[in-house]
């Protein structure tokens, strides 16, 4: 087990997080995934190299207990107490035209998409191995404006800035920090807005490849980004949006 890499992926029970976890395990990386509502995915995960811990990323007060739970899960399942890769995938999207976005909508987006990865990464730092990786998740909506997504895109723009600061401040432990910029893809995101054929058609018109992504289009690259082949990239935005809003 000593040479085996271990990734912690937040929101690994469905959508892009589940895709990332599956590509990681297929490439030989063990995954500790987190879930909140995807209890079924968590309880039905029978692969020995894919385990789950429950986490509500809005509950920063519970992060110390979560760190303890991660440590004991790593010890029991993999015989180690630290891991190599942290993927801050859990996130929400809320459609709200700028003029009518409420403070509650704004706060929820900031809480889940920005404050949570900021403090979760901080809490998990003692468990991330020297030379490890942190991968934050952003969106092509930080580049191209889609009306109704201002608060969401602002939280993701902040993640891109945070990534560069983390890249510099964590370099003393040789931890590389990058942003994965995803693009339009069908998941439960935004209450399932991406399942609407009209939304898909509109989004496809902004994408160089002429269609929206499958989850594999975006997640298959994650093992490579976290691997040693990518070790000289840090503070970077890695665009896997199919050329959205170029």
Ligand X SMILES: NC(=O)c1ccc[n+]([C@@H]2O[C@H](COP(=O)([O-])OP(=O)(O)OC[C@H]3O[C@@H](n4cnc5c(N)ncnc54)[C@H](OP(=O)(O)O)[C@@H]3O)[C@@H](O)[C@H]2O)c1
Which residues contribute to the site for ligand X (CB under 6 A)?
11, 13-17, 35-38, 55-58, 89-93, 112, 137, 139, 182-185, 187-189, 194
Residue number with CB closer to ligand X (39 or 130): 39
Shortest Cβ 146–ligand X spacing (Å) = 10
Closer Cβ to ligand X, 11 or 132, answer by number: 11
Shortest Å, Cβ 136 to ligand X: 9
Nearest to 240 by CA among 229, 224, 9: 224
Query: Which one, 13 or 223, has the nearer CB to ligand X?
Result: 13
Least gap, CB of 189 to ligand X (angstroms): 3
Q: Which is nearer to ligand X, 139 or 206 (CB)?
A: 139
| Smallest distance from ligand X to CB 23, Å | 14
Please answer whether residues 162 and 117 qualify as being in contact, where contact means their C-beta atoms are separated by less than 8 angstroms: yes
Which C-beta is closer to ligand X: that of 67 or that of 80?
67
- Burial class from Cβ neighbours inside 10 Å (0-12, 13-18, 19+) for residue 157 reads middle
Q: Write down the least CB distance from residue 127 to ligand X, Å.
A: 18
**Strand arrangement, sheet containing 237-239:** 50-54, 30-35, 6-9, 83-88, 128-139, 176-182, 237-239
Match 């859990």 to its residue by tokens.
Answer: 90
The residue among 16 and 170 lying less far from ligand X, judged by its C-beta, is 16
Burial of 203 (0-12, 13-18, 19+ CB in 10 A): buried
Distance (Å, whole) CA 215 – CA 244: 15
Minimum gap (Å) between residue 236 Cβ and ligand X: 16
Residues 138/149, Cβ–Cβ less than 8 Å: no
Q: Decide: 241 and 213 in contact? Cβ < 8 Å.
A: yes
């Amino acid at each position: 087990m000593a040479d085996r890499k271990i990734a912690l992926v937040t929101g690994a029970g469905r959508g892009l997080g589940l895709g990332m976890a599956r590509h990681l395990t297929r490439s030989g990386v063990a995954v500790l995934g987190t879930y909140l509502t995807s209890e079924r995915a968590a309880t039905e995960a029978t692969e020995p190299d894919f385990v789950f811990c429950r986490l509500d990323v809005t509950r920063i007060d519970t992060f110390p207990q979560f760190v303890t739970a991660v440590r004991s899960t790593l010890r029991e399942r993999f015989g180690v107490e630290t891991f190599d890769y942290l993927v801050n995938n859990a996130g929400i999207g809320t459609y709200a035209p700028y003029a009518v976005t409420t403070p509650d909508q704004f706060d929820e987006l900031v809480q889940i998409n920005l404050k949570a990865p900021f403090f979760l990464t901080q809490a998990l730092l003692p468990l991330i191995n020297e030379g490890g990786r942190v991968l934050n998740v952003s969106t092509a909506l930080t580049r191209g404006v889609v009306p109704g997504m201002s608060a969401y895109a602002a939280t993701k723009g902040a993640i891109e800035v945070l990534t560069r600061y983390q890249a510099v401040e964590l370099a003393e432990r040789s931890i590389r920090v990058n942003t994965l910029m995803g693009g339009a893809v069908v998941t439960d995101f935004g209450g399932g807005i991406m399942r609407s054929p009209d939304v898909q058609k509109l989004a496809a018109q902004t994408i160089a490849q002429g269609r929206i992504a499958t989850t594999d289009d975006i997640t298959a690259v994650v093992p490579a980004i976290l691997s040693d082949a990518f070790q000289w990239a840090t503070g970077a935005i890695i665009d896997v949006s199919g050329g959205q809003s170029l």
